[in-house]
Amino acid sequence: MKNIWNWAQENPRLSGWLVLGLGMVAIVMYSGRNAGLNLFQWSMLIISTLSVAGLCVWILTWEEDEDEFEEGL
């Protein structure tokens, strides 16, 4: 368990993407359970959801990147 915690602290963006992505996929699957989607549609929906989660984490870290850039000047 400590190894997972250390990895999450060393890789905050990846761990944030993982947690946010899993949560978003769970919500999408719960919401769309009766939509009658086939396997291809589900897979594209999950890939799209994970992509959006990655973009969200990336956008949230823009300010962090700017602070690091200003400190380097």
Q: Using one digit for the tens of pLDDT, what is the confidence trace for 13-54?
A: 899 999 999 999 999 999 999 999 999 999 999 999 999 999
More confident residue, 24 or 72: 24
Which of 33, 27, 54 minimizes the C-alpha distance to 41? 33
Largest separation between any pair of C-alpha atoms in the chain: 55
Domain coordinates in residue numbering, the chain: 2-72
Whole-Å CA distances, 68 to 11, 60, 61? 16, 14, 11
Q: Are 53 and 17 in contact (CB under 8 A)?
A: yes
Q: What pTM did the predictor assign?
A: 0.77
Band the pLDDT of 3: cuts 50, 70, 90: confident
